[in-house]
Amino acid sequence: MNVGVPAERAPGEKRVALVPAVAKKLVDNGHELYISAGAGEPAGWADEAYEDVGCTVLSDREELFETASVILQVQALGAAPDIEMDPYQDGQVVVGLLGPYDITDEQLEALAERNVSAFSMELIPRISRAQSMDALSSQASLGGYKAALLAADGLPKMFPMEMTAAGTIRPAEVFVIGAGVAGLKAIATAKRLGARVRGYDIRLEVKQEVESLGAKFVELDLETEGSGDEEGYAREMDEEFYAAQREQMREVVPESDVVITTAAIPGAPAPELVSTEMIEAMDAGSIIVDLAAPTGGNCEPTEAGETVHHDGVTIHGPTDLPSRVSKTASQQFANNVNSFLNNLLTDGDLDIDFEDEIIESTLLTHDGQIRNPHRDDGTEEAADETDADAADETDADAADETGGETDAA
């Protein structure tokens, strides 16, 4: 294959789809690698690092698209809605986070007209064989980690309890809503920082996972039968359920110094779980980090990409947390992409096998046809509620290495 890695164009994106160490593996396997000049610099890799492992650095972005048969990107198409579509060539293969729920009909039609085979890594199925390809989980883990650090940095008190000559310092109270990968990672990080941590999820089966990290599981008096699907994702519930949930959370949220929320629904707005009234009952100086901000947020005042101050409480609505640890995020994403590419190859040659669940699930367009499984006559289907993560990696150590509940990628 001729593999091309263009520089990312989404605002604030510092990740790169391939790092030198992974690029070397592809070069050693006989593939040609082309990198846009400066593509790795925001994540800490100079052009020379790619050249040293056998990649060709191209200063002309258009030339890269004209040369490569396979394009690897972190964010493109529906995942970067404010960016003009790249000049994909006839028959090209595109792999990355492509925003399958936000991609437009015009983009899909353009890809089909160019015979592009577009693979959206957000749609990796939750099966054991695909865990090494699960980019949503690898990126969401970093989102949960950064969410806890963001809260600790802004809170005007320490996270840990300490016994000092000047008196006892009480630990901060942290409440994490959602026990998917991002939520579990936030719990684990907050615990390591010494906070008292509570976690909540509508799926009672994750109680053991929360407690394995040293946190207390909050149980609300709600009917949760059918709240999880066969793959372990949380399902979208009706408004009556969410109303009852909010009513009971009014007792928990005000007791917290920090609230981290992570619940998201692919293809639909995130459920509103924390009301303005709850926030007004929190102590001044409290912090909220809303990881569902990209899809509307779990908190009533949340604004995507902004920090809002309301009644003494700071509400962060970050949309770029994995990018804030761009070196690690790029390494993780590159490993995911490499595993995905290897799955596309048979005896070293590209082989799009529709009998393969991974290929079938992620393929948006191919051979002039639109195959996106999440659209029906141009209408996005409502999907099950999920905390875009890999809940199968849920023991204490695994939570450290995978993590995330919203589509933090």
For 270-305, the pLDDT digits (tens) are 889 999 999 999 999 999 999 999 999 999 999 999
User: Which of left, alpha, beta for 309 (phi over 0: left; psi -120 to 50: alpha)?
Assistant: beta
Mean of per-residue pLDDT scores for the chain? 87
pLDDT tier for residue 389 given thresholds of 50, 70 and 90: very low
pLDDT tier for residue 401 given thresholds of 50, 70 and 90: very low
Query: Has 117 been annotated as catalytic?
Result: no
pTM for the model:
0.86
Q: Of the listed 9, 61, 114, 131, which one is catalytic? A: 131
Q: Of the listed 36, 233, 286, 339, which one is catalytic? A: 233
Query: Has 73 been annotated as catalytic?
Result: no
**For the chain, percent of residues with pLDDT exceeding 70:** 86
**Phi first, then psi: what are they for 213, rounded to 5°?**
-95, 5
How many helices (H) and strands (E) in the chain?
A: 12, 21
Residue 228 has pLDDT above 70, yes or no: no
Q: In this predicted model, which residue has the larger pLDDT, 201 or 98?
A: 98
**Domains of the chain by start residue, with CATH:** 2-134+326-381 (3.40.50.720), 143-323 (3.40.50.720)
Query: Has 137 been annotated as catalytic?
Result: yes
Nearest residue to 151 via CA among 329, 282, 294, 15: 282
CA 167/CA 161 separation, integer angstroms = 11
Q: In this predicted model, which residue has the larger pLDDT, 224 or 151?
A: 151
Residue 409 has pLDDT above 50, yes or no: no
**pLDDT reported for residue 394:** 36
Q: Are 32 and 55 in contact (CB under 8 A)?
A: no
pLDDT tier for residue 118 given thresholds of 50, 70 and 90: very high
**pLDDT reported for residue 373:** 57
Q: Of the listed 134, 201, 290, 320, which one is catalytic? A: 134
Task: List the beta strands (DSSP E) in 235-370.
Answer: 258-261, 287-290, 307-310, 313-316, 345-346, 349-350, 363-366, 369-370
pLDDT tier for residue 247 given thresholds of 50, 70 and 90: confident
Q: What is the mean pLDDT of residues 192-207?
A: 91
Query: Has 88 been annotated as catalytic?
Result: no
pLDDT in tens, 130-180: 999 999 999 999 999 999 999 999 999 999 988 888 988 999 999 999 999
Which of 41-55, 119-133, 223-237, 279-293 is predicted least confidently?
Answer: 223-237
Which residues partner with 176 through β-bridges? 199, 260
Q: Of the listed 92, 120, 126, 387, which one is catalytic? A: 126
State the amino acid at position 349 in one-letter form. Answer: D
Instruction: Output the CA torsion sign for 59, 60, 65, 69.
Output: negative
pLDDT tier for residue 374 given thresholds of 50, 70 and 90: low
Q: Of the listed 92, 137, 332, 339, which one is catalytic? A: 137
For residue 4, the surrounding DSSP H or E stretch is strand 2-5
CA 393/CA 193 separation, integer angstroms = 22
Task: List the beta strands (DSSP E) in 135-195.
Answer: 162-164, 167-169, 173-177
